[in-house]
Structure 1
Amino acid sequence: MRLVQLTVPTGKRETILEALDDREIDYVLTDEESNRGYTAVVYFPLPNAAVEPVLDELQDAGVDEDAYTVVVDAETVVSRRFETLKEEYENGDVETDRISRQELQSEADSLTPTFAVYSIMTVISAVVATAGLFLDSPAVVVGSMVIAPLIGPALGLSVGSVIDDEELFRESLYYQILGILLAIAAAAVFAWTVRMTNIVPPGLNLSEVGEISERLAPDLLSLAIALGAGVAGIISIATGTAVALVGVMIAAALIPPAAAAGIAIAWGQPSAAIGSTALVFVNVLSVNLAGLVTLWWAGYRPENLFSLGETEQRVRRRVLGLAVIVLVFAVFLGAISYSSYTVSTFEQNAREETATVLSQEEFEAYQMLEFEVVMDENYPFLGPERVVITVGGPPGEAPPELADRLHERINRHTEEEVAVEIRYVGLVER
């Protein structure tokens, strides 16, 4: 429910009151004595779904943007006429629960902080995320998402497109590009500082840190996260619910991958930064694509109906352009996913071959203690570099034919030869 406070321009008093009476809207009228071109202030409650059509009708009646119109939340309205009005406008579809176009535009503006605050908070969130990745701490990484100010620009671009507010669109686009560059640069500088001051071990292998390695070789599931964040973000802002929590979700799609890209750059591994940088871009594009489609589906249109056709064409072009770019990135992520699948399949087959060889009669005195596939560092398309098998058996040395047999059978499942390393542990019975 909303309470609308509207200043009545001189000469429009009767027109506005007649419009409210025709819709059977309860209102309270107070005289205005400020001598600023207004004769009164009218207060009236409205269901959420009625705000946009009523304000549009009043604007047609002569209430221009120079008049003050304030829309605030109303906790409770006790009125039979209000209940009738509610039944008239609320029909159970998605447009019933959404806020008005006017409120949506105001909300999108308010979610984007000033340039200075946005820059500072983006840098801080990137630094915190980088520290969390080094610590391999999911809790710290989540904390970095909470302070990231990304939801405003991420959603403002979609809002500006569908309501024909090109200024909001351009500002949001600028903020998003700036945010990505700032986050990666801040992460790279911080990671380089950490490396040079030996705060982390000098020989740190990025692939051995789980929170980092999973973002250096992202898979296709990352696309689902970004699309879900975009849809959820738009729905939350359009219904006025849980905007802050969805902001964390959007930051989850952008800040940690940007921090991982910065770490890879600081470690002098630009190829390792390819996957995480691609993940950042596919995520931000997917958020905007999902936002555009969701807003248009929710029924938002420009205020000026004469610009509807032009706006619709513009939205279609942007949706198509974003969809094509996202599809290209999706193919790239799909290739990474397929690479991960082949590695997993190889590991499973190699493990089974090892068990099969050790189950043979001539090797029945031996058993597999540990099995590990060591990956190369050809990010983002990782492959097996060597297989390390720890075998236990009678004191002494493992028979040479065991290593040969394992090498032969394991390499049946890979196109490029993989080294097989046997570590033998003598077992003594007591």
Structure 2
Amino acid sequence: MLHLRIIVPTDRSAEVLDLLSRDPAATHVIVLPGAARTPPGDVVLCDVAREGADEVLDALQALGVHRSGAVVGDGVDVTLSAAADRAIDAAPGHGTDAVVWEEVAQKTGEETQLSATYLLLITLATIIAGIAVLLDQPILIIGAMVVGPEFGPLAALSVALMRWRPSVIRRSLLALGVGFLVAVVVTVLATWALTAAGLINESMLLAERPITDFIWRPDALSWVVGFLAGVAGMLAVTSNKSGSLVGVLISVTTVPAAANAAVALAYGVFEEAVGSAVQLLINVCAIVLAGVLTLLIQRLWWHRVTVRRPTPPARRMPAVLSPRTASRRPEATNASDPAAFRP
């Protein structure tokens, strides 16, 4: 489930409560009149089944709650509640299949920042992969794939293209372009430095490398693997399956291709550098295309699931009292009276 903390102006609380009362996916509704200070207003807490969370968030935004107040969501790991079970049963589909679009957009949007940490990670991964292709070592290749942070901008680019967010598209392309450029340049310099130190040499690049030779020889299977990895990666992002994402990172030849191109450039082996660059481009395009198509299919399929859900009658919820009104109300003496628990 998803836990929502909603701050809403006091005069708009009734609208929010009416919205939550009509949605069977929402439960555990708690109202704290006048509890919010910045921004001022009432605080409404509730839990929402992931299957219906996207509709609730869209409805809250349609009310303008995010402009005059705030909506904050957190995942709920443990829930022991019959009311929660009823909400999950009433919501359409399965929670593992549900896509909370705002969650996905914010999660992937954070990966588009061209930060020092991002540049350092992609550079280190490329240098490690450069040494790996020279040594023809698959273990180092796998390690470089896991360290590389490039799937974040690729996923963000897919989401931004599907939802058409030009600003996120620009940031994603900038992170990818600058990131790989910096990584290649630094790897070229590192290759020259290691060569001068006598640790590596050009003959290692020109020698037979049966394990890593595929990196600069793209073929039809390169596109197939990249496309399948893009589908799996997007499913891992939308369903919070981080374990699956690790497998995706290991299956795509992005950082290794950039590393092979850098090493080949350092030694002047331009044919291999071009082949590696083509391999990188194929994988990037395949992942993004697969990501966009996966998201489109998920949206269309989930739309068909949600339109079949009947609209239940509204549940009765107590009116929200402002602190001033609540102070005028006679003190409740019955412990079962909800007013006894109001501030």
TM-score interval for Structure 1 and Structure 2 normalised by the shorter chain:
0.7 to 0.9
What amino acid is aligned across from residue 245 of structure 1 in structure 2?
Answer: V
SS of the residue corresponding to residue 75 of structure 1 reads coil
Is this contact kept in 2: 1:48–1:98, CA < 8 A? yes
What residue identity is the alignment partner of 1:71? Answer: G
Deviations 1:373-408 (A, max 9, x none): xxxxxxxxxxxxxxxxxxxxxxxxxxxxxxxxxxxx
CA distance in 2 between partners of 1:96 and 1:209 (Å): 42
**Deviation at residue 57 of structure 1 after TM alignment:** 1.7
State how 1:374-393 maps to structure 2 within 5 Å: none
Aligned residue for 1:273?
Answer: 273
Query: Match of 2:282?
Result: 282
In 2, are the aligned partners of 1:183 and 1:255 still within 8 Å (CA)?
A: no
Contact 1:10/1:37 (8 A) holds in 2: no
* Larger displacement relative to structure 2 (167-176 or 73-82): 73-82
Taking only the aligned residue pairs, the percentage that are identical comes to 24
The one-letter amino acid of 2:30's match is: V
TM-score by length of 2: 0.79
How far apart are 1:78 and its partner, in Å? 3.3
What residue is the counterpart of 1:107 in the other structure? Answer: 107
The CA distance in 1 between the partners of 2:23 and 2:204, in whole Å, is 70
Distance 1:161 1:65 in 2: 25
2:158 counterpart residue number:
158
Alpha-carbon displacement from aligned partner over 1:67-101 (angstroms, at most 9, x marks no partner): 22111111233333333322232335xx8623311
Q: Quick one: which amino acid aligns to residue 6 of structure 1?
A: I
Return the offset for 1:48. 0.7
Where do 1:314-329 residues align within 5 Å? none
The whole-number CA distance in structure 2 between the counterparts of 1:260 and 1:37 is 52
Alpha-carbon distance, 1:111 to partner: 3.3
**Counterpart position of 1:399:** none
Deviation at 1:241, TM superposition (A): 0.9
Structure 1 unaligned blocks of 5 or more: 302-430
- Normalising by structure 1, we get a TM-score of 0.64
Query: Higher RCO, 1 or 2 (CA under 8 Å, sep at least 6)?
Result: 2
Tell me the equivalent position of 1:352: none
Aligned counterparts of 1:224 and 1:6: Cα–Cα separation in 2: 44
Letter in 2 for 1:64: H
What is the CA–CA distance in structure 2 between the aligned matches of 1:212 and 1:259, rounded to whole Å? 12
Larger radius of gyration: 1
Give distance in 1, aligned partners of 2:46 and 2:167: 31
Change (3 A) 1:249 1:143: closer
Q: Is 1:78 aligned to residue 80 of structure 2?
A: yes
Match of 1:223 in 2: 223
Q: Say which of 45, 49, 58 aligns to 2:51.
A: 49
5+ residue gaps in structure 2?
302-343
Residues 245-274 of structure 1: per-residue CA shift (max 9 Å, x gap): 156236x42011111111111121112212
Cα distance, 1:148 vs structure 2 = 0.8
**Worse-matched range after superposition: 264-273 or 200-209:** 200-209
RMSD of aligned residue pairs (Cα, Å): 2.4
The secondary structure found in structure 1 opposite 2:31 is strand
CA contact (8 A) 2:36 2:42 kept: no
Q: Which residue is 2:333 aligned to? A: none
Alpha carbons 1:229, 1:249 under 8 Å: kept: no
